[in-house]
């Protein structure tokens, strides 16, 4: 009954004309950037952070969340019609989706993607609403020691589940933590790592780092690649209606993809792309028509689309209930919350209930908006592929610079964005993901604060971290993840030593 009261508050908040308008704008923009290859939700949200300063917190978060799951919808359209994944999570959808399109079944493929996305999105929102209150209630038992251990677990989890090598991920997290420490220490008043540069004495703006690493770097990389301007042949669309046989075949795949995506979305570092590929792999093993997979099987469209959209919703569970971001987008969402002086964590539910439940309710409304937007406007989205990238990206770059400058009227911030843009571009060249760096930047200062508070309360006694049961449990989980991350390297080294011994 209490959950229904919370949801009633959420829908009352989300259905206000202002929040509906921002949800619609976010869904529209999310679909657009999902359709256009190279423009993903991470750089887009990073570039739009300056705009959120002028918005009410609830409206800002609703818009940013709508962009995120809207991009998952949009990516499937071009993947199916022109064999060009607008989103990395749609790369697996194009395998069977475009094969269906070449067989004259583009309409059913698009309808399947929309149905799977809507169903999975709704289930993901229900899981978010159901798990939010119990997890937040448990989190109220957390003190500074537990928060430190939890954030440490989040960082180690991101390393353990990362596709990068262990040393690279650890190095990126360390760089992020160091960047987060730049500026004046609020406790002692000591200026740290500013190198006598006045502009760095107040620290590095989260917006500058995010926009540079993701927005500017992505633009430069795409300009260098000289992407095609939309001359790819578009598959014709005859009818959108799937047949009864299509519905019968897609239903179990949608359910399996939704279940898998919902579970993986909660894990730090997993994300929507891994969910989509995992669902496709699972479907190939379980489907009764696995031989058709890769040649236009409708299961190959339904499962990954359900998985990536379910994961996009459940990705919010650790952020909203524990204050721990599990992906780059969630780190940006956490940054947006701190911009509006909202302390992420379980206290959001009690101190900002309208924001918390309004955001959850807006996700269901957003999924409904996306179904209405995607199918009727397919022709418009495909025509947008004809916009030359040499004109589109410089315009976005100018928008970035103006947005960053407007935050503090500081030219130094624009130069910082440029520097981080160069760093992000180089990371891309070296095939290094900047996501661990961003997580380190966001969680590092919060970890430091919790660590210092714990020692102040315990009067310098470090044993407090292992004498408190929840903190000890989290540290044990952290140790297990470290072992999990180190195990492959240990096995490889052991194999090399044995081979040398036998030689």
pLDDT, residue 24, reads: 93
List pLDDT tens digits, range 217-269: 877 777 776 554 444 445 555 566 777 888 888 888 899 989 888 887 776 55
pLDDT, residue 239, reads: 62
DSSP H/E element including 192? strand 191-192
pLDDT, residue 86, reads: 59
List pLDDT tens digits, range 293-309: 777 888 888 888 888 88
Above pLDDT 70, what percent of the chain? Answer: 82
> How many whole angstroms from its chain centre is CA 373?
22
List pLDDT tens digits, range 360-390: 899 889 888 888 877 777 667 666 656 666 7
Number of domains in the chain: 1
pLDDT (average), residues 81-97: 71
**Residue tagged 């760095």 (tokens):** 200
- CA–CA distance, 353 with 373 (Å, rounded to integer): 29
DSSP H/E element including 471? helix 469-502
453: confidence class by pLDDT, cuts 50, 70, 90: confident
6: confidence class by pLDDT, cuts 50, 70, 90: confident
Cβ-contact 361, 354 below 8 angstroms: no
Cβ-contact 399, 47 below 8 angstroms: yes
SS (H, E, C) 248-289: HHHHHHHHHHHHHHHHHHHCCCCHHHHHHHHHHHHHHHHCCC
> How many whole angstroms from its chain centre is CA 249?
30
Which residues, 6 or more positions from 296, have their beta carbon under 8 angstroms from its beta carbon? 96, 99, 100, 102, 103, 105
pLDDT, residue 231, reads: 43
- CA–CA distance, 82 with 381 (Å, rounded to integer): 11
How many separate helices (H) and strands (E) can be counted in the chain?
23, 2
pLDDT (average), residues 176-205: 81
pLDDT at 352 over 50: yes
Which residues, 6 or more positions from 67, have their beta carbon under 8 angstroms from its beta carbon? 26, 27, 29, 30, 33, 41, 44, 45, 48
Average pLDDT over the chain reads 78
pLDDT at 456 over 90: no
22: confidence class by pLDDT, cuts 50, 70, 90: very high
pLDDT, residue 288, reads: 72
Q: Helices 106-139 and 244-266 sit at what angle, rounded to 10 degrees?
A: 30
Q: Looking at per-residue confidence, does 61 or 93 come out higher?
A: 61
pLDDT, residue 23, reads: 92
pLDDT at 356 over 60: yes
pLDDT (average), residues 496-500: 52
DSSP H/E element including 184? strand 183-184
List pLDDT tens digits, range 317-333: 878 777 777 677 888 88
Domain encompassing residue 42: 2-502
Cβ-contact 316, 362 below 8 angstroms: no
Secondary structure letter of residue 198 according to DSSP: G
Cβ-contact 200, 183 below 8 angstroms: yes
pLDDT at 76 over 50: yes
Q: Helices 57-82 and 106-139 sit at what angle, rounded to 10 degrees?
A: 150
**Residue tagged 């900002």 (tokens):** 352
pLDDT, residue 53, reads: 80
Cβ-contact 57, 99 below 8 angstroms: no
- CA–CA distance, 93 with 82 (Å, rounded to integer): 12
pLDDT (average), residues 104-122: 84
List pLDDT tens digits, range 475-487: 998 888 888 777 7
20: confidence class by pLDDT, cuts 50, 70, 90: very high
Cβ-contact 206, 338 below 8 angstroms: yes
DSSP H/E element including 183? strand 183-184
pLDDT (average), residues 441-460: 83
Which residues, 6 or more positions from 79, have their beta carbon under 8 angstroms from its beta carbon? 85, 86, 90, 91, 93, 94, 97, 98
pLDDT, residue 232, reads: 45
pLDDT, residue 238, reads: 57
Q: Looking at per-residue confidence, does 22 or 165 come out higher?
A: 22
pLDDT at 85 over 70: no
pLDDT, residue 21, reads: 92
């Amino acid at each position: 009954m209490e959950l229904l009261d919370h949801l009633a508050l959420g829908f009352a908040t989300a259905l206000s004309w202002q929040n509906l308008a921002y949800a619609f704008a976010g869904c529209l923009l999310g679909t657009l950037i999902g359709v256009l290859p190279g423009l993903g939700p991470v750089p887009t949200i990073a570039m739009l952070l300056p705009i959120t300063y002028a918005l009410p917190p609830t409206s800002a978060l609703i818009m940013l969340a709508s962009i995120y799951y809207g991009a998952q919808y949009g990516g499937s359209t071009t993947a199916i019609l022109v064999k060009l994944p607008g989103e990395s999570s749609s790369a697996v959808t194009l395998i069977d989706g475009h094969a269906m399109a070449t067989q004259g079944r583009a309409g059913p493929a698009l309808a399947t993607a929309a149905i799977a996305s809507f169903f999975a999105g709704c289930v993901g929102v229900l899981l978010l609403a159901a798990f939010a209150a119990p997890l937040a209630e448990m989190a109220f038992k957390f003190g500074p020691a537990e928060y430190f251990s939890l954030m440490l677990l989040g960082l180690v989890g991101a390393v353990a589940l990362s596709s990068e090598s262990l040393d690279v991920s650890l190095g990126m997290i360390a760089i992020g933590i160091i960047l987060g420490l730049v500026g004046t220490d609020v406790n002692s008043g000591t200026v740290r790592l500013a190198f006598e540069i006045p502009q760095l004495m107040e620290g590095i703006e989260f917006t500058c780092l995010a926009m540079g690493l993701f927005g500017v770097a992505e633009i430069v990389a795409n300009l260098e690649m000289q992407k095609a301007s939309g001359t790819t042949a578009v598959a014709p669309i005859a009818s959108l209606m799937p047949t009864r046989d299509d519905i019968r075949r897609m239903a179990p795949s949608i359910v399996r993809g939704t279940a898998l995506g919902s579970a993986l979305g909660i894990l730090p570092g997993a994300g929507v792309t891994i969910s989509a590929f995992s669902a496709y792999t699972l479907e190939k093993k379980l489907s009764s028509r696995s031989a058709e997979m890769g040649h236009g099987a409708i299961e190959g469209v339904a499962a990954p689309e359900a998985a990536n959209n379910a994961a996009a919703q459940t990705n919010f569970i650790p952020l909203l209930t524990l204050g721990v971001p599990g992906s780059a987008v969630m780190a940006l969402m956490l940054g947006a919350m701190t911009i509006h002086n909202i302390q992420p964590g379980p206290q959001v539910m009690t101190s900002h209930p309208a924001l918390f439940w309004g955001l959850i309710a807006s996700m269901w409304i957003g999924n409904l908006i996306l179904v209405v937007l995607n199918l009727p406007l397919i022709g418009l989205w495909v025509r947008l592929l004809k916009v030359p990238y040499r004109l589109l990206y410089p315009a976005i770059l100018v928008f970035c610079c103006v947005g960053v400058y407007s935050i503090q009227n500081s030219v130094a911030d624009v130069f910082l964005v440029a520097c981080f843009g160069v760093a992000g571009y180089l990371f891309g060249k070296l095939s290094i993901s900047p996501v661990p760096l961003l997580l380190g930047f966001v969680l590092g200062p919060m970890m430091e604060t919790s660590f210092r508070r714990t020692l102040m309360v315990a009067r310098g006694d470090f044993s407090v971290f292992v004498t408190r049961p929840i903190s000890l449990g989290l540290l044990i989980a952290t140790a297990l993840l470290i072992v999990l991350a180190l195990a492959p390297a240990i096995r490889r080294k052991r194999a090399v030593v044995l081979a040398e011994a036998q030689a």
